A = this chain, B = another copy of it.
Amino acid sequence: MDVHQLTERINALGIQPSAASPSHESTTPVLSYFFTPKSGSKHPDNPDHDLKLVVAAIEDAKNLGPAKALAQLVGLKDMRAVSANDLDKLLGRSRDQASPLSLPPSLAPSTLIVTSSSLSSASSLSIPSPSDPAQSLTLSHDDWHKAVLQLKQEGAALKEAEFLLKGVEPPKPAAQKAALAPTPGAAAATKGTAQAELEGQSGVQLGITVKKEQAVFGDWYQQVLIKGEMLDYYDISGCYILKPWSYGIWQEIQTWFDRHIKALGVNNAYFPMFVSQTVLEREKDHIEGFAPEVAWVTKAGKSDLEVPIAIRPTSETVMYPYYAKWIRSHRDLPLKLNQWNSVVRWEFKNPQPFLRTREFLWQEGHTAFQTKPEADEEVLQILDLYRRVYEELLAVPVIPGVKSEKEKFAGGLYTTTVEGFIPTTGRGIQGGTSHCLGQNFSKMFNITVEDPANPGGDKLHVWQNSWGLSTRSLGVMVMVHGDDKGLVLPPRVAQLQVVVVPTGITAKTSDELRDKLNDEADRVAKDLVKAGIKAKADLRDGYTPGFKYNDWELKGVPIRLELGPKDLEKQSVLSVRRDTGAKAPLPISDLSSSIPSLLDTIHHDMLNRARATFDQSIVKVEKWEDLVPALNANNVTVLPWCEVEACEDAIKDRSAKESVQGAQEDEKAPSAGAKSLCIPHDQQRWGSVEGKTCPQCGEKAKRWTLFGRSY
State the A residues within 8 Å of B (CB).
Answer: 1-2, 4, 88, 92, 94, 131-132, 134-135, 188, 190-193, 232, 234-236, 239-244, 247-248, 250-251, 267-276, 279, 291-309, 311, 321-322, 324-329, 331, 337, 341-342, 344, 346, 348, 358-359, 361, 446-450, 459, 540
Contacts and interface: CB of A to CB of B under 8 A. Distances in A.
B300 A293 contact: yes
Contact of A1 (B247, B298, B449): B449
B235 A276 contact: yes
Contacts of A293: 300-301
A272 B357 CA distance: 10
A327 B1 contact: yes
A244 B296 contact: no
Contacts of A292: 301-302
Contact of A244 (B191, B269, B341, B446): B269
Contacts of A235: 276, 279, 321
A329 B299 contact: no
A401 to B, nearest CB: 31
Given A1-B328, A2-B328, A329-B134, A271 B241 contact: yes
Contacts of A324: 1
A301 B1 contact: no
Nearest to A339: B247
13 contacts: A2-B328, A191-B303, A193-B307, A234-B271, A239-B274, A241-B271, A243-B269, A244-B268, A251-B268, A294-B301, A295-B297, A297-B311, A311-B311
Nearest to A344: B273
Given A192-B300, A446-B1, A272 B94 contact: no
A244 B337 contact: yes
A89 to B, nearest CB: 9
A458 to B, nearest CB: 9
A94 B234 CA distance: 43
Contacts of A131: 328
A331 B291 CA distance: 47
Contacts of A346: 300-301
Contact of A291 (B2, B301, B450): B301
Contacts of A271: 234, 241-242
A268 B247 contact: yes
Given A236-B276, A241-B272, A294 B305 contact: no
Contacts of A348: 300
Contacts of A251: 268
Contacts of A273: 342, 344, 359
A193 B305 contact: yes
Contacts of A250: 270
A331 B248 CA distance: 22
B267 A305 contact: no
A300 B295 contact: yes
Given A235-B279, A279-B235, A303-B192, A450 B269 contact: no
Given A1-B459, A235-B279, A270-B361, A191 B305 contact: yes
A1 to B, nearest CB: 5
B322 A241 contact: yes
Contact of A299 (B236, B308, B447): B308
B268 A309 contact: no
A706 to B, nearest CB: 31
A341 B247 CA distance: 13
Nearest to A129: B328
A429 to B, nearest CB: 22
Contacts of A268: 244, 247-248, 251
Given A270-B361, A306-B193, A298 B299 contact: yes
A305 B299 CA distance: 13
Given A276-B235, A325-B88, A325-B94, A306 B450 contact: no
Contacts of A305: 191-193
Nearest to A19: B456
A224 to B, nearest CB: 18
A138 to B, nearest CB: 15
Contacts of A94: 325
B296 A299 contact: yes
Contacts of A2: 328
Contact of A269 (B241, B269, B294, B337): B241
A158 to B, nearest CB: 29
A247 B234 contact: no
A359 B318 CA distance: 15
Given A247-B268, A303-B190, A274 B236 contact: yes
Best-buried of A88, A274, A294, A358 by chain B (most CB within 10 Å): A274
A625 to B, nearest CB: 40
Contacts of A449: 1
A638 to B, nearest CB: 36
Given A4-B448, A241-B322, A273-B359, 18 more contacts: A1-B327, A1-B446, A88-B321, A232-B325, A235-B276, A241-B269, A243-B269, A244-B269, A248-B267, A273-B342, A292-B301, A293-B301, A295-B300, A296-B298, A296-B300, A300-B346, A300-B348, A311-B311
Contacts of A448: 1, 4
Nearest to A232: B322
B294 A300 contact: yes
Contacts of A276: 235-236
B329 A240 contact: no
A237 to B, nearest CB: 10
Contacts of A242: 269-271
A305 B238 CA distance: 14
Contacts of A309: 236
